[in-house]
Structure 1
Amino acid sequence: MTPVAIVTGASSGIGAATARRLATEGFHVLAAARRTDRLTGLVEDITAAGGTATAVTCDVTSDSSVAELAAAAAGLPGPVTVLVNNAGGARGLDPVEDGSIGDWQWMYDVNVLGSLRVTKALLPALDASGAGTVIMVSSTAGFTVYEGGGGYTAAKHAQTALTGTLRLELSGRPIRVVEIDPGMVKTDEFGLVRFDGDAERAAAVYAGVPEPLVAEDVADCIAWCATRPQHVNIDRLVVRPLAQAAQHKVHRVS
């Protein structure tokens, strides 16, 4: 039977790229996100390329929606062996003293509690497979703070803490726990969501940066971790573009 890989936040960016890549690695991909129309197009693309996939509309901030995702996974013939917790995002760049409670709440709900909900719902299936892998797509913001990033870095630090704790708690069970921490990744939507649709502010983040990472670069890392022999656990993989030496050290050209 074909093993199943579940990818949340699969309607765009890293999630969509990961779904496509895992399909080429022989997984049946269960692509989950809120935007059904985009998922439908993704599944059509994967099928046209010779892979197999299923679309499930899912909001990771909803208990009932995540339960429906788990039920859909249970209805597939193959074992669930990979879960990629990719759904997440950033909103705003406010200093702490002016921080938007609503934005901070959204970031915590999606990045942290969303990962918690989905992981809890799928752990029984991953355990039953005898060879499961949980991959958390966090960020370099999960271990480095920066001005204006309090809400996002707090959420990603929490997601990193969740990941490390889960690995300890699952010791002795057949489930690997992997954390992927990308640096600067230029995707179509991350910056637009962060800056409330302001394309100019979103583009300014990458201005002059020669070759920032793209979604396919991160998908490549995720696929590599997911396809290592089961006894090999990649605890944390930090990936940045060559131009980014550290969170605050970025080479830019005029």
Structure 2
Amino acid sequence: MAAITKRYAFLKPDLADVEVSFPKVTAGAGVCSSFAVLKFGDIEVELNDSSAAMLPEFFEAGSAVPDGEITLATGWPVAIARIDAATGGGICFGIKVGERVLLGSVPVTMSLEKLAGWLGDLQITATSAGLTVLPTRATWSPDRQANIVLGVTLQSGQSSLLDIRPAFKSVKPARSGVAVDGGYLSRQGSADQQEYLVLSAADHVVYILSPSGRDLDEVAALGSSVTVRPAPR
């Protein structure tokens, strides 16, 4: 396919959307999920903006049994599932926002009523690039970076993951590796760790992963020609 450019949003609205230009070595850009961690009081909750089709899979992965829906004060419907007590208990939730869903889970120490109150204070905005979340009482965790994960299929049929994160502005972008279209590309890993590629640029760092752990040379063709840039606001 011809090279295409798509726009994606971080969950944190203070982070600019990104434009990703996919090179001709890709056969398609698939699923997109965006992650960030909120602090509800002393409880950290990882939020996950994904396709609405991911909701049943998220509940199943969390050993959670669906338990109906509630409606937030903001009007958004929320699917609720109870996590099996044998795996620690708690609540999984999915806020339904059109074709997207905002997923997360909380421990057994948080009641459904308190959870509904916290979620009701989130200002959720949906755009074609994804969801953004503006908390009013909750705060973003300073220790966890927001990131966007994209699934990519290469022409050979092999899959790859792009994990896109904002660059630390206090740290100069790495100059190690090979200069490519999107920055500097290097190979990372060790004898006891699966190898992966890192694309470093002024505004973003992209971790390029092969789920199979094989054929990293083919994945390198993706890394050498993909570009990630801040989108116009």
TM-score bin (small chain):
under 0.3
Q: TM-score, normalised by structure 2?
A: 0.26
* Higher strand fraction (1 or 2): 2
Higher relative contact order (CA 8 A, sep 6+): 2
Q: TM-score, normalised by structure 1?
A: 0.25
* Higher helix fraction (1 or 2): 1
Q: Which one has the largest radius of gyration?
A: 2
